[in-house]
Amino acid sequence: MGKTIIEKILGNHAGREVVPGDMVDVQIDARVARDFGGANVVKNLKDNGLGIADPQRTFFTFDCNPGGSDQKYAANQQQCRVFAREQGIRVYDVDAGIGTHLAIDAGLVGPGETFVSTDSHANILGAIGAFGQGMGDQDIAHAFAHGAVWFTVPPTIRIELKGVPSRTATPKDVTLAIIKHFGASGLLDHAAEVYGPYVDQLDLAGRVTIASMCTEAGGIIILFPPNQAVIDFCRKAREENHGRDARATQPAYADPDAVYAQTVTIDIAGLTPLIAKPGQPEDVIPVSEVRGTKVDSVFIGSCTNGRYEDIAAAARVLKGRKVAPGVVLKVVPATDAVWRKLMDDGVFAIYKDAGALISNAGCGGCAAGQIGQNGPGEVTVSTGNRNFPGKQGKGAVYLASPETAAATAIAGMITTVDAIPAEPVVFKCGTGRNVAADPRVGRSEQVAHVGHGEPTPQGKPTKVKGRVWVIHQDNIDTDMIFHNRYLTITDIKEMGKYAFDNLKGWEDFAKKAKPGDIVVTGKNFGCGSSRQQAVDCFLSLGIAAIVAESFGAIYERNAINAGLAIMRGPLVGTDLKDGEEVEVDFATGVVRLAKGQEVRGKPFSNAQLKIYERGGLLVKM
């Protein structure tokens, strides 16, 4: 039976043939911890007496707070630096840029290889036909210590892109079309491969853009079969950074008779520029439907659109023009090498002449304390990948291509490159600020101050009974569970009081919750970032279990590895109410409701049960 790309890569790194559903230990070619997760990785290693399997394949990348402008970030970064010196680990420090881009550009990973990081967009590596996966702190600590992590081989969806988009459409528009088709969870638990004439001619930057937003459709990874240009780029990157004796890469391609879970055809013929409305990356419409919407700010950058080609494309729109009065244009290149090339080629001069703010390289936009955040009521057009409420600030965020973002900055309103007005739209005196149309953004912050309980000890029962909290909502992301403004917290005892702090209607959850309570919710719970804190906050509160229809892939493994009891079960479709008592049997998957009704969920696998019973992946037997 033929194999897909991911089956070949994982099989090659597990030392045996694999099929979807197999759980295997996968050797990891490059293991990375970022600045916000790195301190927790170091703590996990020290607390469990673990060493480093191979320092030459182990790295730190400081891209979340490249200025080190927050005291806790600065402390976390320094802790990682000291540990790296002791262990002989290379640090790509605050001047280097986004870790996933460095992995490609510095030759840390090549086609057919494996990469893990505390970055939920590590699946960007699919752009070069490599396996990349974002993971939590315990997973990364395990990879640092043992050089391998467990992984369940996913089924693969084959995506066929049909036709050629219009001349004004870009790879970001094609990406948004894919996200619109699949929705927030359409790729959940799946890998994908992308094919078609459009893909064949797509450059590396375009492939990165599409691969980077796999996470926003719930997927494991979107893989591109590497063409010769990509192979040559990766070979050159490895030789320049590691010498001609650097290890060779072996690209993996799907067999002609590979078995796919399904084949999906997406028609992009004549595709025009698209934009995602505030709140949901999959809420995609033609830009024409919101053309004329007044904006306060524009952001160009992120791991999705921070490469040279992206920023240069926007500069071509800006050349000879000015940013509209009252609008702030912020630019953050992906890496320092990109920054330098933009400077050397005169691209930055175009931005400065237009009136833009240019930052040093880094993630930008996606975390508190970075260039790109916005304020309450502020309307932003961003080239990022996420516009969840609170993710890029308290305002409303539209997602669009670099070209649409540049055109919008010039016009002072949302528009496209072929419809920039002769005169910009400006704020009128006495009208005040923009008010976000999305009722979920711009609300006043409500922070809970009291947490309950301690992390659940070892010797956990396989059957629990407790009071339920029923949240009738799908796609609850990790920023809603544990907002990015708290990322520097490393003490699990402090995390509980922030649980659901950014979930509308549940801001006071931590005040009401008690040890032993059970959370019941809908599909794709824990989508979004790879942050371990979104799991640990529930351990801090003593939550006995979370039962959801499905979980985000990274969240699910983070919870399993931390020993948090999570189970898949369709409870939100019942008449279960807050405060009722249920019994959850992890071994059988049966949930018994107060009225005697039984609902069958998915029982723990043997591996999950063993990790749960001993209290976590890193806990010694």
Q: 201 pLDDT exceeds 50?
A: yes
Contact assessment for residue 333 and residue 306, using Cβ atoms and an 8 Å cutoff:
yes
pLDDT at 67: 67
Within the chain, what is the greatest distance between any pair of CA atoms? 72
All residues at 6 or more sequence positions from 112 whose CB lies less than 8 Å from its CB, including other chains? 8, 9, 12, 129, 130, 249, 250, 251, 252
pTM for the full model?
0.82
Contact assessment for residue 303 and residue 212, using Cβ atoms and an 8 Å cutoff:
yes
Give the pairing of strands 598-600 and 590-592. antiparallel
What pairs with residue 357 in β-bridges? Answer: 330
What residue has token string 């036709």?
163
What pairs with residue 567 in β-bridges? Answer: 547
What pairs with residue 151 in β-bridges? Answer: 24
pLDDT at 442: 31
In sequence order, what DSSP letters do the residues of 172-240 get, joined into one string?
HHHHHHHHHHHTTTTTTT-EEEEESHHHHT--HHHHHHHHHTSGGGT-SEEE----HHHHHHHHHHHHH
Higher pLDDT, residue 291 or 445: 291
Mean pLDDT on 424-441: 55
61-to-99, 114, 335 alpha-carbon distances in Å: 5, 17, 11
- 244 pLDDT band, cuts 50/70/90, is low
Query: pLDDT by residue (tens digit) across 117-151?
Result: 998 899 999 999 999 999 999 999 999 999 999 99
Mean pLDDT on 222-238: 95
Nearest to 525 by CA among 492, 496, 547: 547
Query: pLDDT by residue (tens digit) across 378-388?
Result: 999 999 888 87
CA atoms of 268 and 285, how far apart (whole Å): 14
In sequence order, what DSSP letters do the residues of 354-365 get, joined into one string?
HT-EEPPSS--S
Mean pLDDT on 330-344: 96
Query: pLDDT by residue (tens digit) across 522-566?
Result: 999 999 888 899 999 999 999 999 999 999 999 999 999 999 999
Give the pairing of strands 131-134 and 114-117. parallel
Tokens found for residue 71: 């005291």
pLDDT at 338: 97
Contact assessment for residue 374 and residue 398, using Cβ atoms and an 8 Å cutoff:
no
| Mean pLDDT (the chain, rounded) | 90
CA atoms of 293 and 414, how far apart (whole Å): 5
CA atoms of 173 and 195, how far apart (whole Å): 17
Q: In what order do the strands lie in the sheet with 191-195?
A: 221-223, 191-195, 156-162, 262-267
Please state the length of the chain: 621
Q: 421 pLDDT exceeds 50?
A: yes
Contact assessment for residue 137 and residue 144, using Cβ atoms and an 8 Å cutoff:
no
Query: pLDDT by residue (tens digit) across 85-98?
Result: 999 999 999 999 99
- 457 pLDDT band, cuts 50/70/90, is very low
In sequence order, what DSSP letters do the residues of 118-156 get, joined into one string?
S-TTGGGGGGGT-EEEE--HHHHHHHHHHSEEEEEPPPE
pLDDT at 596: 79
- 439 pLDDT band, cuts 50/70/90, is very low
Q: In what order do the strands lie in the sheet with 131-134?
A: 90-92, 58-61, 30-34, 114-117, 131-134
Which of 270-279, 403-412, 446-455, 561-570 has the least mean pLDDT?
446-455
CA atoms of 379 and 437, how far apart (whole Å): 9
CA atoms of 260 and 68, how far apart (whole Å): 45
CA atoms of 547 and 269, how far apart (whole Å): 42
All residues at 6 or more sequence positions from 126 whose CB lies less than 8 Å from its CB, including other chains? 132, 211, 214, 221, 222, 223, 224
Q: 377 pLDDT exceeds 80?
A: yes
Domains and CATH numbers, the chain: 5-267 (3.30.499.10), 274-419 (3.30.499.10), 463-614 (3.20.19.10)
Higher pLDDT, residue 531 or 15: 15
Q: 455 pLDDT exceeds 80?
A: no
Q: 456 pLDDT exceeds 50?
A: no
Positive/negative CA dihedral, 210, 211, 214, 215? negative
Query: pLDDT by residue (tens digit) across 202-214?
Result: 999 999 999 999 9
Which of 93-97, 432-436, 438-442, 458-462 has the least mean pLDDT?
438-442
Contact assessment for residue 551 and residue 502, using Cβ atoms and an 8 Å cutoff:
no
Cβ burial of 110 (10 Å; 0-12, 13-18, 19+) is buried
Give the pairing of strands 191-195 and 221-223. parallel
Which of 23-27, 456-460, 510-514 has the least mean pLDDT?
456-460
Query: pLDDT by residue (tens digit) across 472-486?
Result: 999 999 999 999 888
CA–chain centroid gap for 498, Å, is: 20
CA atoms of 45 and 55, how far apart (whole Å): 14
Exposure of 602 in the CB half-sphere (CA atoms within 13 A): 15
Q: 452 pLDDT exceeds 70?
A: no
Q: 246 pLDDT exceeds 80?
A: no
Taking the CB of residue 209, how many other CB atoms lie within 10 A of it? 31
pLDDT at 438: 36
pLDDT at 102: 96
Single-letter amino acid code for the residue at 532: Q
Provide the angle, in degrees to the nearest 10, between the axes of the packed helices 606-614 and 553-562: 50
Mean pLDDT on 434-446: 32
CA atoms of 201 and 581, how far apart (whole Å): 57
CA–chain centroid gap for 612, Å, is: 25
All residues at 6 or more sequence positions from 475 whose CB lies less than 8 Å from its CB, including other chains? 184, 185, 280, 522, 523, 524, 527
In eight-state DSSP terms, residue 97 is B
pLDDT at 435: 38
In eight-state DSSP terms, residue 270 is T
Q: 451 pLDDT exceeds 60?
A: no
Q: Is residue 277 helix, strand or coil?
A: coil
pLDDT at 454: 33
pLDDT at 68: 61
